[in-house]
Structures are given as C-alpha cells and as structure tokens.
Chains A and B, each alone.
Chain A
C-alpha cells in the first residue's frame, strides 16, 4: 500500500499484558531507537488481562525486522507479528466535522457521505459530523473529496486496526 499519509508502511500486531506502563514501554522503545510510529491503536483482546495493539510503522524491511525483534524482547509483549498487507484486513475510523453554508452544500455533503457509505452522525445548522470507516486509502480519499467542497473544522482518526484473513490469528494458542 503506497499512500500519501503512510508511505513505506508496515503493520505490526501485538498481544500484550494489560498492565500499567506497557504502552509506555512500547512507545518508549520506538522513541529510544529512533523508529517511527505512523499509527497506534490499543484495546481489549478476546482474553481478559491481555490487550491487542496495532502499530503502523514506517521503514524498510530491515527496520521492521529490528522493530519486531525489539518488541519481542519486552517481557510484557506476549506476541508480535508483522502482518503482510496481502493477507490482512486493515480498517480505520475517522470522525470529521465540516462547516456548511446553506442547504445546497448540505445536500452535496450528504451525497458524498452516501457514496462512501459513511454516516452523518451529528447534524446541526452549521456543522455536520461524519463517521467514515474503511481502509486508510478510503479514509484519505474521503477527506480529500470532502475538503474540496466544504471547510473542515476537525478530524479525529482512530489509527489503523488490522486483523489477518482466514484462520491465522495473533492469540495465545
């Protein structure tokens, strides 16, 4: 995936202990060794006590290999996997607040929202907040298109979440 916001991107999935300071250990490792995090998301996993993290990291393959090795060394990191882009589903959610002037502009925004199968989740007289979910390219492209029509007031992106296709999984067993 070559993409304006994520050039040279690799996706790394991690299963980690859900204990205080673990995020700091992980991001600290990146900072200390000069690796770039393009995106990081975290949440509960299927198993209590373990969190699932998706990191979008930038760098050539040697760098990504070093990153996964260094992550593996952290005691609180249970599993690390470099997820090949071919066999992985990647999703991102973005919330975008745009400023609208008049009915016509509103109509235009709504039609684009429909086209991208996005959702308008909050509508007021001058503002619409849109939720768009998809691969990072879809989100980027939506933002491009919508910003051509109306001014954007605020963007909140979740960062990338990734899961492998088929049977393969990053789990304890």
Chain B
C-alpha cells in the first residue's frame, strides 16, 4: 500500500489493474516480449506473491525479462508465520534468474538496479524482489548516489570472447562447403535483436531456415528460404530439410526434445556437423554433441560471421550449397489448405481459421496464443513476418498465459505502434483459465481480438487420447454435463462477453470466419470471437511420440516416413539428373477436404 500510494499521482506510470497476480505476471511478460525490455508486475505479500509463481516459471523457461516485486510482512515478523507471510524467496528460487529480499532500505536502489541488469542482460530471465513493509516506509539515508553502471562480481555473461572469430572461421568452412546446410533459428535470435543479421546471412548463403516455436518471427515466413517450424508439430518441409542437412547452424536454441525428436537419431544425417552459437554456455553440448561451439551474444557473432563471409566472397569464395535447385519446390509444398468444407458435425475445420487469419494479418500485428492445439495450428500455419510479433508459452506451455500476455502486448504496442492489432488464438479450455481478465480489458480500454477455437475439449490431450489411448476421453470433455454426460457447452462465450460489456461473435460456418475477423479488426474494443470447431480435429501430421524427425503420423493417421512425401535429396550429379518430380506428394491434405463428406456418406 505505501508503494501504490506513492505512485498514485504519478502520471508517467501506467498502472494496469489486473484481476489476478498470475495474470499480471504473464501480462508483464507479454509486454517485455514485445518491447524487448523489462516488464514489471507488483503484488501484495503472501498469496499475491505466490500467485506469481507460474508467471515467473513461464518467464524463466522462455528467457523473458520480467520483474515481480512483492510486498512482505515487516522484517521483525519474518519467520513467525505472520498474517500473509510466505517464503516467496524460497519458493521462487528455482524459477528466477535471481531473487532478493531487501532488508535495508539503503540497499534498495542498488538491488533494483542490479535486478534490472540481471533480468535484461545475457540470457534474459525473471527476477523477484521481496520488499518488507517496514523497508517500504523507511527513510533512505544514502550518502552517495547509486552508481550508474552496475558491476556484479560473479555475474559476467559471456557476450563475446576472443575465441569467437576463430570458431566462426571454422563454422564458415563447414557452411560454405556443405551441400545441404540448414539454419536452425531459436528464440535467442529475437532476444539478441539479431534478425537483420540473420536475414542478411540467408540472402548471401541462400540456404533454408527452419525455426523453433520460440524462434517464430525472427525471420519472415514469407521469405523464400524460410521453411517453417521444426519438430513434433513442425512443418513436413522443415523437418525434411533438417533430416537432409549435412551442416546445421543453430542460433540461440536449446535443442529441446520437441524439436530434436529421438535424440539417438538426431541429426538425421549421422555425420552432419553442428555449429551452435548461444550466449548460455550451459546450453552448448547439453542435449546434442556440437562440432563447433560458440559462446557469444548472437548479434556480434553474426556480424563477425557476415564480415568473414563477405571477405571470403570478395576473395573468390564459393558457396557450394545445392539448395537453390530445390528450394522453390520445397517452399511451394506443404502449404496451408483453404478448407471450405465442414467436418462431420458440420462445424469449422481449424485450418480454415488459420487460412483466414493469415489473410487479414498485417506484418506489424501481434499474434499471441494459448496452449494446446490452437497454439500448434497457429505456430504451424500462421505467417509471422517480424520478430517480437509472435508470443506463445514455449518451455512451460502454460494454459492461461495467452490472454494475459496479449494484454501486456497490447499495452506495449499502444506505446510503440498503435496501428497494430493484437490477435489472440485461444482454446476454449485455456480461455476458461483466465477469462476474468475480460474485466481488465474492458475497464482499462485494452484491445485484443480474441479468437476462441471452441472444440469442446482439452483438445491437445484429447488428440493424444484418440491416437494413443483408444479414444478414451477421460477428463478432457468440456461439453459433458451431469453424470449422463449430456452434451451441452458452458459457458456461453457470447453471453459472457456481453456480461463484460464486450461484443461477442459466434462463428459456426467456414464462410463466416472472414467477416468475423474483419469486424473484430474494425472494432475499437476487445471483441470475443467464438469459432465452433469440429470437435475431433487433430493437429496432424505430427511426429510419432519418441520417434525421430522423419517418423510421422499423417492426417490419415498412418505411420509414415518423411521420405514417403519427399525423395532423398541427390548428392551426386548422376542422382541429380533423375531428381525432379519426387517432391511432396500431398496425399493426406485431401483427407481434410473429404473428412466431413466421408461421414455423411455412411
């Protein structure tokens, strides 16, 4: 209270009163991810602070710079189980980059500075500050001002080292001589603001880029060499490129299990060379063996790479990649189908929503997702064209993250680019974890275009139950009412929007999607669009769980190899002659168009 009292009349600070502290933390992260700078969340002690634990963990696993700053009982009561005391420093230890309890007001300024520096520098991450009541009101008697530059013994993120140029030189030897080199871009590229350098690199090398979910947006999906997301729910063409790669340049990624598939069979070409650039030493060699490890901030590392590459080109260097021969066919394959038919229940097929959203998306618009199928459809299909315009919970996969991150994102763009829209792709389950914040967007005049993909299920889990648990939909049916499981859906999202004074639009036919999106875009306020999605839609194809990057489950639910769709790339001139039409037989897309019809025939 003393803190809030202090800022009551401060016109420079915009306070967004969230309805729940977890959501305040996620909103801070949404803000931080759009701005590339610290997002702040302030809470009360005890339950207020413990409510932020999920938000801190989310920011920790996605390397987002946020600060949570909570009240605490007076110092002399700490440890006595006073009213609303909780050991939040203990509770947040494993999920913050650093945390503090301030015991002396004279340290407060230094600690804030230190914490902000730690959150923003190196590999970014969340920090937590616990501020006891008596310290909040104590008088500060600092003799000297807090130094401008903070030096913290024991904290020296390795942003550059003299070994980098030599390693880059080795990396270039591999990359220029490889037949099928591939760049794997992770979220680190966005953190380092190294997207321009990446784009320039691709324009010189003309080699494909695949990305992790966190790396979406670091290079435009429209770029002819960008093949899309890699991994479990990745694009076939991206996984194919990775399977064929003989050199992999990995930038700011941690090789999570979602993108490598079975580690014993990664990379696909067992003799492929891996170059890994990351600012976090501990990420290099953690999951995969690396041939050229480079610990550095990505921006100076890529600048060095570009300089050396340009030098080599000037001196007659040749890039030996063969990708230019096939990249167009590859990029043209595996597109997003415009599924105008309905499914067996006469409802909308999710691909249709993504298709229409792509059509209306402007490059500066921000897309935020919830977690589940909705997220994977968006990550798989949406064309994101700029860094920091794609926000999704990666490492932790927190349902409920999306709406609040969208609120933070909307506040951030309203400062920098008021023309840009914020789109939220939500699942009906996720949205029910956080819908109380409709009140926040209404009262704080924050605009988010909310698209609830209502498939009546915790869809991603139901998908696994359908595919791997014999269709036993235990604990995932959101439309099951009463012991007899009558099908009925609560809440009525349109009435709910109305209850908060917001417009709700229900879409039940594919033909209505476009108009609804346009209407939301035109509106001055948050609009809730509920799209009635064919309940048993699946995000397919996907990797078989535990399988390698080439082992798929197709839309027709058959076990397939990536090589059923794409022929192995030729490695010799002889093979090259015969390789023309082998690319991309899209047999399983037809399935989507036939899906509804097949049922009707029966």
A interface residues, Cβ below 8 angstroms from B: 16-17, 20-21, 24-25, 28-29, 32, 62, 65-66, 69-70, 72-73, 75-79, 172
Contacts and interface: CB of A to CB of B under 8 A. Distances in A.
A75 B280 CA distance: 13
14 contacts: A16-B154, A21-B90, A21-B93, A24-B90, A28-B94, A32-B94, A65-B285, A70-B282, A73-B280, A75-B98, A75-B152, A75-B154, A75-B155, A78-B153
B47 to A, nearest CB: 21
A72 B285 contact: no
A72 B281 contact: yes
B505 interface: no
Contacts of A28: 93-94
A73 B153 CA distance: 12
Given A70-B282, A72-B281, A75-B97, A21 B152 contact: no
B89 interface: yes
Nearest to A71: B282
A46 to B, nearest CB: 15
Given A21-B89, A66-B285, 13 more contacts: A17-B154, A21-B93, A25-B93, A28-B94, A32-B94, A65-B285, A66-B282, A66-B286, A69-B281, A72-B282, A76-B98, A78-B154, A172-B153
B118 interface: yes
A81 B54 CA distance: 33
Nearest to B155: A75
B118 A75 contact: yes
A15 B574 CA distance: 61
Interface in B4-36: none
Interface string B280-320: 11100110000000000000000000000000000000000
A32 B57 CA distance: 13
Contacts of A29: 94
B501 to A, nearest CB: 45
B188 to A, nearest CB: 15
Contacts of A69: 281-282
A154 to B, nearest CB: 31
Interface residues of B, number: 17
Contacts of B155: 75
Contact of B154 (A20, A62, A70, A77): A77
Nearest to A69: B282
Nearest to A70: B282
Contacts of A17: 154
A29 B282 CA distance: 13
B191 to A, nearest CB: 16
A76 B154 contact: yes
A62 B118 CA distance: 27
A152 B89 CA distance: 42
Interface in B153-173: 153-155
Nearest to A78: B154
B27 to A, nearest CB: 26
B291 to A, nearest CB: 15
A78 B98 CA distance: 14
Nearest to A15: B154
Contacts of A21: 89-90, 93
Contacts of B281: 69, 72
A69 to B, nearest CB: 4
Nearest to A62: B285
A128 B285 CA distance: 51
Contacts of A73: 280, 282
A32 B93 CA distance: 11
B100 to A, nearest CB: 10
A133 to B, nearest CB: 31
Interface in B361-411: none
Contacts of B285: 62, 65-66
A62 B288 CA distance: 11
A95 B281 CA distance: 41
A172 B151 CA distance: 14
B286 A79 contact: no
Contacts of A32: 94
B127 to A, nearest CB: 9
B129 to A, nearest CB: 13
Interface string B408-448: 00000000000000000000000000000000000000000
